[in-house]
Structures are given as structure tokens and as C-alpha cells.
Structure 1
Amino acid sequence: MPPAGRALPCVPIAVAPNGGRRTKADHPALPIGPAELVRTAAECLEAGAAMIHVHVRDSEDKHLLDADAYHAVIDAIRAEVGERMVVQITSEALGIYGPEEQMAVVRAVKPQAASLALREILPGTANEAAFADFLLWMKTERVAPQFILYEPGEAVRLDALRRRGIVPFEEPPVLYVLGRYTTGQTSTPADLLPFLAPGQPVFRRFMVCAFGRHEAACTIAGGFLGGGLRVGFENNLTLPSGDRAAANADLVDAVRSGLEAAGITGMSGEELARDWSSL
């Protein structure tokens, strides 16, 4: 039992159900269009997810940043689940879009939340002023950012930007990515340790995502330390047993069950929305 007066953390579970790379050739249940994403959102909400991380595709099922496509998916999900899930769009470049296009789609959609890969949206120092204006707009419009960090050095860089006032959020949400989008990548829980090492910036609102069959172990390790968990077909198709998951909800259920077995509860979508609205 935890010491008197100290409770175990209540942490959010997010689902990343499709990403921008995989297709139905990788898994027939990978959701692509609005109808499939709506069904996935409802199933994952029931399994314990507080947030859905949405990618949209073009007519050839390729990665797309498009305001109309995002509005169609967001409206459809909201019609099904109401405000019980945070709906987050991606601004991921995927080697197709530049920082200006990434920021423009977020402005055009004005979503509840948006993920921002720091290395993509601010690849150098040349566009720091535009990036600062963009983040100030997000703060004013109450669009919650989540900064995607692929290595500990990016966490140091984000903290430096925060200290300089470029990032106007005192405690910005972040996502620690354990590994890379490479063939056969399999993350392990130890990959989280460099992000949490002594001397590293401390981000209270952190989530963890990982690749391969140890996704559950990696993200649950983050949950034990008070972080959120992001799972789904974007990064992994396999259950902890090694069997292929039939649906995204199976991956959500696996981590929710693991947390509950340790006495940790999952945060609701409404609770996550309230927390991020206070940024």
C-alpha cells in the first residue's frame, strides 16, 4: 500500500489507431475513414481510452494534413462519443509538409488538442518567432499542445524554449517516444530511463509510446511513474502475449488491465480535458 496520504497516480490512456504510414495491408482492421475511426473511438472509449490521436488520409490512403478532412472526422467522433474523449489531431510532417503547413492546419482546424513533433515543426532557429506566435495562439484559443520528443536531448531543448518564453506553457504536455519508425523496431521499458535520468527536465504531463510487442510493458512502466500511456496500431499490432491484436481496443484493454492490477486507475476523457484546459 502507498504511504498514508499518498495515492497511486490516476493516468490517461490514449489510442493512436492508424498513424500515417500503415495501411490495411498491414492489418485489415486499421481504421482509415471517418466511419471506421468513429467505431474505433467508441470501442476504445469502452476499453478505457481517454483520448484518440487522429490521422487522416487522402483518396489514396496516404498521410494528409487537411482541415476539411479533420473537421469531418472530429464531427463524426463527437457525434458518437460526445465530450467523453479528448480528440487530438496530428501535425506530423512525415517528410511531406513543412513547419508553415503544419502550423496552418492546426490554426484552420482549431482542435481540442494537437500533437507537435518538435524536430519537425521547429527544425532550427530560423522560424522561432513564427513558432512562438503560433504557440501563443494555441494558448489563447485553448488548443492543448502535446510535444513529441524522440530523444532526451529534445526534452532539454523544449525546456530551454520554455525558459526563453518561446513556449508559453509552464508545464507543457509531452510524449516520450521509445524508439523509431523502423522495420522490426521493438522498444523495451529501459528505453524510458534516459528521459527520466537525473538532470533531465521534469515534465509532469508526460505520456509514453513504444513500438512492438512490448508496447504494453513500456507504457505501463510510464504509468507506474505517473505518466500517461499511448497505444495503438500506429506503432504496434501485437498483444503482450505475442498474438496479433484484433482491434485497437484490445491494446487499450491490455494496458488498462495491467494498470488496474497494480491499483492504478485510468483518467477519464473529461478529467484529461480539464487538466489540459488549465495549461
Structure 2
Amino acid sequence: MPAVPPDALLITVAPTGAETSKADCPQLPTTLEELVTTAQECEAAGAAMIHVHVRDAEHQPTLDLALLTDTVQALKESTDLVVQLSTGGSVHDPLDQRLKVLDAQPDSCSLTMGTTNFGDDVFLNPWPFVCELYQLSQERRIVPEFELFDLGQAHALVRLIEQFGLPFGGRVHCDFVMGVPGGMPGTADALVAGLSSLPPEVTSWSATGVGRTTLPVALAALSKGGHLRVGMEDVLTISRGIPVQSNAQLVERAASLGEMAQRRPMTSDEARRQLGLS
């Protein structure tokens, strides 16, 4: 299998999330039709993977298996993107329902490596749940993306791999989620500290800056040779006081930043090779 060229930049788009309401942000894609259109636009702009949260008919976050399955199927039929489902859902979703997300058969799933204070809420990821979800992803041949909200979660990844071995596909991809109130700050110093804590098995990593940390984190990640996750799950302004009009706008900016760093957007086929999905 040919190696992915080092100048290839994996851009992941996280278009919806579970926190922002449709009423507060009408341009947020919450219906299946809106999500498919967004995915196609973002693929054309340079994204190779989509991180998906699903909403119900009232635009509320849901882990309804039928909706998840229909969404995965529609995205696979209408794009070549790597489809990654969130197993985090919203901070209020019970652990047993979050495990059932894998029944929708995505290419990839998020796997958060520990419990995090999330603003005024708690994003619960106890160790037994992390282990069960990881083993389930291995059995289902679904590639996890390890989400790291704090430095201790990088060390937890070391422990997980030591205990249960490598993921399906043999590649280890993680994403630093930075700037969440209660998690690691969205700074270059925090990113460097996180990178120094990763296990040697890690084969690729990306970074996500939430809110006003979006640009600092993106620039720091590019300077260290990493990849980027962008999208309206994480930021709702394109510049100070200017609302984002579409997820494609954020992907286009990420691709432009990559071009400045002499990186070009990774294709979906390259992303599959990078993640061990080929």
C-alpha cells in the first residue's frame, strides 16, 4: 500500500455538534438533506472526513439508531468522505445508548479518552466505558479517532493500547480538542505538551480549537505537522463578530492555511490509507 505523502493535510469537518440550537443558528445543518448538502460542499472545499452528530425532527440531538443508520448510508451514497459518527452524543446521553452508535456501521467513530468538565456540564467517559467502546470498535472493524480533551487523556491512550492492542486497521489517529471550558487551553504550549505525551504507536493526529482558539490551534497544529478539524460544531464565527455562513467556509479557510504551510488537502482515498481503512 503506497504511503500517504507528507504534504497531504487531513481536513475533518464537524458540521453540527450537539450544543448549538437551530433557533440560535439557522444555518446549522440539522436535517438529513442539509447534512448531505453540507458534506458535498465540504468535500469539494477539501474535507476528507466528516464527524457527524444527528438531530431529530425537532432539531434536537439524538442517538436514534434508525436516524444514525440512514445518515451514514446517505453520506456514503452521496460523497466519498470517511464517515465518522460521534459516540459522545450530547453530554446528557446515557452510556448504553452511546455504545449502540456503532450499530449504524460508520467507517470511524470518536472515542473520548476520559471524563471532562464541559462548561457547566460533565462529559462522562469512565474507564470501563472507554474500554468497552474500544473493544467493540475492534470487533466491528470500525476505526476510532481518540479524542483528547486534556493531557491525562493522552496518558490514558498509552494505557488503553498497552491493555488491548492496536485498533482495527493498525493505525492510531487522535484529535486534540482544545479550548473547551474545563479542558486543556487552546494554546501552542498546550499542544506541544500533549504531543510529548502521546504513545509511540500514534501514526497521525489532528487538533481542534473551540471558539476563539480555532485559529491559534490550527496554526500551531500546522507548524507541528498535524492535521485539522474544523466546523460549526466548534466555532460559529469566521472572524470577530462575523457569523459563519456555512461549514464549507471553514473548510476553505483550513485549506488556505494548509496551502500557506505548503500542505494540500488529503483525498478521501488517502485518508482511508492514513486511518487504516483501505
**TM-score range for the pair, normalised by the shorter chain length:** 0.7 to 0.9
Instruction: Provide the TM-score with structure 1 as the length reference.
Output: 0.84
1:152-211 alpha-carbon deviations (Å, 9 max, x no partner): 1111011112112266465421111112158xx9834443222123x5535332111111
Residue aligned with 2:275, SS? helix
Q: Does the Cα contact within 8 Å between 1:216 and 1:255 map onto a contact in 2?
A: no
* Amino acid across the alignment from 1:178: M
1:124 corresponds to which of 110, 127, 135: 127
**RMSD over aligned Cα, in angstroms?**
2.6
1:16-35 alpha-carbon deviations (Å, 9 max, x no partner): 01101112233221000110
1:259 — aligned with what?
Answer: 258
Identity between Structure 1 and Structure 2 (%): 30
Distance verdict in 2 for CA 1:157–1:26, change over 3 Å: same
Partners in 2 of 1:71 and 1:112 — Cα distance? 12
1:3 — aligned with what?
Answer: none
Partners in 1 of 2:134 and 2:207 — Cα distance? 25
Distance verdict in 2 for CA 1:278–1:95, change over 3 Å: closer
Q: Does the Cα contact within 8 Å between 1:8 and 1:263 map onto a contact in 2?
A: no
Matches within 5 A, 1:94-113: 94-106=90-102, 108-113=103-108
Q: Does the Cα contact within 8 Å between 1:131 and 1:166 map onto a contact in 2?
A: no
Partners in 1 of 2:130 and 2:62 — Cα distance? 25
Partners in 2 of 1:194 and 1:75 — Cα distance? 38
- Greater strand share, 1 or 2? 2
Further displaced range: 188-197 or 11-20: 188-197
Residue aligned with 1:53, SS? strand
Distance verdict in 2 for CA 1:208–1:223, change over 3 Å: same
* Amino acid across the alignment from 2:138: L
Q: Does the Cα contact within 8 Å between 1:214 and 1:240 map onto a contact in 2?
A: no
1:22 — aligned with what?
Answer: 20
Instruction: Provide the TM-score with structure 2 as the length reference.
Output: 0.84
Residue aligned with 2:251, SS? helix
Q: Do residues 158 (structure 1) and 151 (structure 2) align?
A: no
Further displaced range: 10-19 or 116-125: 116-125
Partners in 2 of 1:128 and 1:88 — Cα distance? 17
Partners in 1 of 2:17 and 2:181 — Cα distance? 11
Partners in 1 of 2:261 and 2:114 — Cα distance? 35
Matches within 5 A, 1:35-74: 35-74=33-72
Partners in 1 of 2:216 and 2:230 — Cα distance? 11
Further displaced range: 165-174 or 246-255: 165-174
* Amino acid across the alignment from 2:29: P
For structure 1, the residue ranges without an aligned partner over 5 or more in a row are: 1-6
